[in-house]
Amino acid sequence: MCTAATYQTKDFYFGRTLDYEFSYGDQIAITPRNYPFSFRHAGEMNTHYAIIGMAHVAGNYPLYYDAINEKGVGMAGLNFVGNAAYADVTSDRDNIAQFEFIPWILSQCATLSEVRTLLERMALVATPFNEQFPLAQLHWIISDKTGSITVESMADGLHIYENPVGVLTNNPPFPQQMFQLNNFMHLSPKQPVNTFSDDLALTAYSRGMGALGLPGDLSSASRFVRVAFTKMNAFSGDSEKESVSQFFHILGSVDQQRGCCEVADGKYEITLYTSCCNVTKGIYYYTTYENHQISAVDMHRENLDGGALICYPVIQGEQINYQN
């Protein structure tokens, strides 16, 4: 499972949790402006916007899971197993292989409105990266400070949905996730009052009862509601530290602890990493399951006019601050 969310304070933030039972081997990868992209069906692109994100780098190619560009657009791929279906190559579209989708959008779109325009003539096609990587079944959230959209390529075509809540998890398809929120419209961060019956002396005997009924389990549908409630009600100061801290707390609401989600005998899905990008400033913050200290890579500390990928390893292992 995975969860993605956006958050706006003074700056715009975008990030995700990546939940799985093993890691593909990830790095924080910066693609500078002159790294040549060679799209399988859409030609060469020798210069473009710079990108930073989490990727598996294979044969010098950044297979991004989530990333942002220098202009303020963020994008993440999340599992959409059983529902994702990719198209065949046709001559009347920009045919973009599923693994090229993040580079295709982030390399040339400065705003969400440019993304919408580009998507009008795009098809996501089933060309695999190589035999080693079977096609991942994904759907995507794409955001800038003005809003978010969800992109789902299914057997009946490419769906582009407005995403007014700015979160995404996994199955079911996005319209069902949004519809389900109707069932929780009575939840509130405020204390409830007794509307059950005037004849009963019911009281709010504990704090936090306004959200009683918010689902607590790890299913994708439950995480969608939980992170939506948390994000929509989240409140923080707008400094960088307060915003980043609050963002990790929002995604902390859907954190997966080892042992609670068994996917095979003795195999557990966990939150491998959590990311928080300051999209405005081009900074990629992250924590991992084994490292709660926030680490960061700032794209603007690199020469973004280069032509070679710049990669940083994911720092693992708890960093404990002993006080004596």
Ligand X SMILES: C[C@H](CCC(=O)NCCS(=O)(=O)O)[C@H]1CC[C@H]2[C@@H]3CC[C@@H]4C[C@H](O)CC[C@]4(C)[C@H]3C[C@H](O)[C@]12C
Residues near ligand X (CB under 6 A): 1-2, 18-20, 24, 56, 63, 65, 77-79, 81, 98-99, 129, 133, 135-136, 138, 170, 220
- Give min distance, CB of 89 to ligand X, in A: 16
Coil, helix or strand for 168? strand
| C-alpha Rg value of the chain to the nearest Å | 20
What 3-state DSSP class applies to 111?
coil
Residue 149, token pair as written in the block: 């959209």
Active site residue 2: yes
49 vs 251: CA distance, rounded Å: 28
Instruction: Identify the active-site residue in 2, 109, 276, 277.
Output: 2
What is the Cα–Cα distance from 38 to 190, expressed in whole angstroms?
53
Tell the smallest beta-carbon distance from residue 129 to ligand X (Å).
Answer: 5
Closest to ligand X by CB, 128 or 192? 128
Burial of 114 by CB count in 10 Å (0-12 exposed, 13-18 middle, 19+ buried)? middle
**Least CB distance to ligand X at residue 272 (A):** 8
Burial group, residue 250, by CB count within 10 angstroms (0-12, 13-18, 19+): buried
Residue number with CB closer to ligand X (4 or 122):
4
Closest distance of CB 104 from ligand X, Å: 13
Other CB atoms within a 10 A radius of the CB of residue 96 amount to: 25
List Cα–Cα distances, 201 to 87, 157, 192, 198, in angstroms.
60, 54, 13, 7
Q: Is 108 helix (H, G, I), strand (E, B) or coil?
A: helix
Compute the distance between CA of residue 246 and CA of residue 257 in angstroms, rounded to an integer. 20
Residue number, 86 or 247, with CB nearest to ligand X: 86
Q: Using CB atoms, what's the residue nearest to ligand X?
A: 79
Report in angstroms how near the CB of residue 20 gets to ligand X at its nearest. 5
Closest CA to 282 of 4, 28, 68, 5: 68
Q: How far is the CB of 58 from ligand X (least distance, A)?
A: 7
Amino acid at 142: I
Closer residue to ligand X in complex, CB, 78/310: 78
Q: Which is nearer to ligand X, 153 or 220 (CB)?
A: 220
Looking at the Cβ atoms of 139 and 231, the one nearer to ligand X is: 139
Residue type, 297: V
Q: Can you read off the two tokens belonging to residue 220?
A: 């994708």
Q: Which residues are catalytic?
A: 2
